[in-house]
Amino acid sequence: MLHLNPETPCIIVPLFAHTLEALTAQARAAQAAPEADVVELRLDPLRQGDWLSGLALVRQTVRKPLIVTIRTSQEGGEVPLDDDTYQEAGLALLAQGGVDALDIQWRTDARVVRTLRDAAKRAGAAALFSEHHFDGTPDRHAMTEALHGMLDAGADIAKLAVMPHNRADAAALLLATAEVHDARPEAVLITMSMGRDGAATRYCGGPFGSAATFGTLSAASAPGQPPAAKLRAKGLTEADLG
């Protein structure tokens, strides 16, 4: 079961492998790493025919909460999928079982988002809605509206990742997170600003309302992900603010 709280933000470690052999090694490392609270299985680097096998082998190895993600090329991932194929793949993964949270791309067709949301809930998995901007940082209002929109549409977890052009963009992401958290303190948010200018947001997201951050054991799945052990040593939480 996946429980996230910004008072004690968890560290999510991505599994990002292009072969099942490499995926097996990464899964074993994640299971053994004390700093890995949650594991994310990124399936898009694998051949599509290996997705169900990849989920099965990771679930056999990893006994920690598991987020399962197919990141399409439209959102910075490694596989081009049309909406129907994306939906079919998500439904097949949920039907196989072992998914604690399914990442659902928020900017996918609304029909697909609703279908995967409802299927996730029937399967006992959290519906994690996500939106990624690798080309820049939307203005603060657009970011707060995106997070509110995901939550209003039934997301159990709302995730927003943006690329800053400067440190002011990273600060805007934190401010947007805080505004939504203050308005909806019960909501579960995961937010981050990527790259070098956004690195600080991966350490201090908790006090602004982000309930998790991403750290690596080996391969990074997005720009700017620091080592998980470094996040554990230096991460700031709401509790640290008294």
User: Three-class SS string for the chain?
Assistant: CCCCCCCCCEEEEEEECCCHHHHHHHHHHHHHCCCCCEEEEECCCCCHHHHHHHHHHHHHHCCCCEEEECCEHHHCCCECCCHHHHHHHHHHHHHHCCCCEEEEECCCCHHHHHHHHHHHHHCCCEEEEEEEECCCCCCHHHHHHHHHHHHHCCCCEEEEEECCCCHHHHHHHHHHHHHHHHHCCCCCEEEEECCCCCCCHHHHCHHHCECEEECECCCCCCCCCCEHHHHHHHCCCHHHHC
* Predicted pLDDT of residue 241: 46
Residue among 159, 165, 181, 234 flagged as catalytic: 159
* Predicted pLDDT of residue 242: 45
Residue among 3, 18, 64, 132 flagged as catalytic: 132
What domains, with CATH codes, occur in the chain?
10-241 (3.20.20.70)
* Predicted pLDDT of residue 234: 77
Supply the pTM of this predicted model. Answer: 0.94
pLDDT in tens, the chain (242 residues): 688 999 999 999 999 999 999 999 999 999 999 999 999 999 999 999 999 999 999 999 999 999 999 999 999 999 999 999 999 999 999 999 999 999 999 999 999 999 999 999 999 999 999 999 999 999 999 999 999 999 999 999 999 999 999 999 999 999 999 999 999 999 999 999 999 999 999 999 999 999 999 999 876 666 668 888 888 887 655 545 44
Active site residue 234: no
Are 214 and 14 contacting, i.e. CB atoms less than 8 angstroms apart? yes
* Predicted pLDDT of residue 142: 98
Active site residue 3: no
* Predicted pLDDT of residue 135: 94
